[in-house]
Amino acid sequence: MAAIKQGTLNLGRWTVDRRFLEGYLDATFDASPIYEELGVVPPLALAARAIGALLEELSLPAGTVHAAQELDYKRLVKLGEEVTCMANLSRLSTRGDWHFIAVSFTMSGKDGQVLVGGKSTVLAPASESEGD
């Protein structure tokens, strides 16, 4: 945990394609045809992708808990659209045996328009070697 610092992280750029949609729908057991019919991605799929990218970037230890989430959707994202995700680690604190990490993120389209914004709180266990 010592390597995690406040600041901005680029969580990547990707195209929300049919493979992404199918993977999310399979993982959530969502059999509704509405997303394919409309050619859009479920809003929560984007938040899940952002949180997944954040957890990968931070390499948090086993036992980490995604404790809270706030989301603000601006518009639906179409299949084939390219998105970029940026995160800001705004607050890092330790209470007892846990690190609290507050993160805000935005996912923007190719034109820079914000598509999704959110705030998350992640709790990571403090390791014994940190001397807490």
Q: Would you write out the chain's pLDDT as a tens digit for each of its 132 residues?
A: 445 677 889 999 999 999 998 999 999 999 889 998 999 999 899 988 988 888 888 888 889 888 899 999 999 999 999 999 999 998 888 899 998 999 999 999 999 999 999 999 989 898 754 544
Residue 103: name the closest of 70, 130, 60, 61 by CA. Answer: 70
pLDDT for position 2: 45
Count other Cβ atoms within 10 Å, centred on residue 8: 11
Quote the tokens at residue 59: 């390499």
pLDDT (0 to 100) of residue 126: 84
What is the predicted pLDDT for the residue at 129? Answer: 46
**Do 89 and 6 contact (CB within 8 A), yes or no?**
yes
